């Protein structure tokens, strides 16, 4: 019922054809930005693929375009709503233009309508509920302690988060490289064609579970580069992580790291599989970037 493998191709196509409104909402809810909850995109329940889904809350977020006003689609939406309600899944809906024109309002509505996990309670004498909480004085003491400690640990936490992004990037690029090697083994030594801001078709059977092609850093995306070296015609194979949408330099979200200080729209973090790897085919080998295995980081 949940994420049926028969709908995997459909889910992948929907991820590749993400609308502007869906991209905005994904940036609002990803990396647990809404009350610490994890959302998945293009997640299927039964025969329906939901735009966004939080398993912990059994909550779906749906983004509707103008076509949802049409009678036939309204009827299908009604069946969809009945199915989700029957399976105890709450749905929050937004219109495309509502998201694009008022993303702050959308985020505020999500914070208002989503109920965080209920606090723990225990049983006291006589079977009555005894709430586990703080008195006002205890709460004030805790707040004061947190205020003192937060300044001490904030820098350390930020540093740990940055290290976690890089460690995840290295682990996942290696996982992708292994998957590509198995793909090539099963296809007479041929790697799949280049895939821009995406993973190549046919790679899924060799990959573990994950929200591919999303990268580890907020706003980043994996990219499979199958290039021909402009200097000598030899192949270049690499797994890259890119930080800008195609044709939109204003969308770039670079890592806040010293090694990314001079990144530009053609920069990438990448793992070289073969050839004269680089951040971008149109740039020289020494163009700003971060290579895991080139020996120059």
If DSSP states are collapsed to H, E and C, what string results for 9-25? HHHHHHHHCCCHHHHHH
According to the model, what pLDDT value does residue 242 have? Answer: 96
- Give the max Cα distance, the chain: 83
Where does CATH 3.40.960.10 sit in the chain?
5-117
Cα–Cα distance measured from residue 56 to residue 21, given in angstroms and rounded to the nearest whole number = 24
Task: For residue 7, give both structure tokens.
Answer: 């709908």
Cα–Cα distance measured from residue 75 to residue 81, given in angstroms and rounded to the nearest whole number = 10
Contacts of 32 (CB under 8 A, 6+ apart): 38
Q: What backbone torsions phi and psi does residue 34 show, to the nearest 5 degrees?
A: -105, 100
According to the model, what pLDDT value does residue 262 have? Answer: 95
Task: For residue 199, give both structure tokens.
Answer: 């993973």
Residue 266 burial by CB count (10 A; 0-12/13-18/19+): exposed, middle or buried?
middle
pLDDT in tens, 38-74: 889 899 998 899 999 998 889 999 998 765 455 556 6
According to the model, what pLDDT value does residue 204 have? Answer: 86
pLDDT in tens, 155-181: 444 555 677 888 889 888 988 988 898
Residue with tokens 């049926």: 4
Which range, of 55-69, 108-122, 216-230, averages the lowest pLDDT?
A: 108-122
Mean pLDDT on 275-279: 94
Higher local confidence (pLDDT), 221 or 19: 221
Q: Please determine, looking at this structure, whether the domain spanning 5-117 carries the CATH number 3.40.1170.20.
A: no
According to the model, what pLDDT value does residue 3 have? Answer: 78
Mean pLDDT on 6-32: 84
Cα–Cα distance measured from residue 144 to residue 235, given in angstroms and rounded to the nearest whole number = 60
Cα–Cα distance measured from residue 187 to residue 102, given in angstroms and rounded to the nearest whole number = 48
């Amino acid at each position: 019922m949940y994420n049926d493998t028969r709908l995997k191709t459909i889910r992948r196509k929907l991820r590749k054809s993400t609308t502007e409104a869906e991209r905005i909402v994904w940036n609002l809810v990803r990396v647990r930005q809404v009350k610490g909850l994890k959302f998945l995109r293009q997640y299927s329940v039964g025969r329906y693929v939901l735009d966004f889904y939080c398993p912990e809350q059994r909550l779906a977020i749906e983004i509707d375009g103008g076509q949802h006003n049409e009678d036939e689609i309204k009827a299908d939406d009604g069946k969809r709503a009945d199915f989700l309600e029957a399976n105890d899944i709450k749905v929050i809906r937004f219109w495309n233009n509502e998201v694009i024109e008022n993303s702050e309002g959308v985020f505020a509505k999500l914070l208002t309508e989503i109920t965080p996990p209920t606090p723990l309670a225990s049983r006291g004498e006589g079977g009555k509920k005894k709430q586990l909480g703080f008195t006002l004085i205890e709460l004030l003491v805790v707040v004061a302690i947190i205020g003192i400690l937060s300044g001490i640990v904030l820098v350390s936490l930020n540093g740990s988060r940055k290290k976690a992004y890089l460690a995840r990037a290295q682990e996942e690029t290696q996982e992708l490289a292994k998957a590509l090697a198995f793909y090539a083994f099963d296809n007479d030594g041929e790697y799949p064609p280049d895939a821009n801001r995406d993973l190549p078709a046919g790679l899924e059977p060799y990959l573990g579970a994950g929200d591919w092609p999303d990268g580890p850093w907020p706003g980043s995306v994996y990219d499979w580069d199958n290039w021909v070296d402009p200097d000598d015609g030899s192949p270049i194979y690499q797994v890259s992580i890119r930080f800008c949408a195609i044709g939109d330099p204003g969308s770039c979200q670079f890592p806040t790291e010293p090694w990314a200080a001079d990144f530009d729209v053609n920069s990438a973090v990448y793992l070289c599989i073969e050839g004269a790897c680089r951040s971008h085919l149109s740039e020289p080998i020494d163009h700003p970037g971060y290579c895991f295995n080139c020996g120059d980081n």
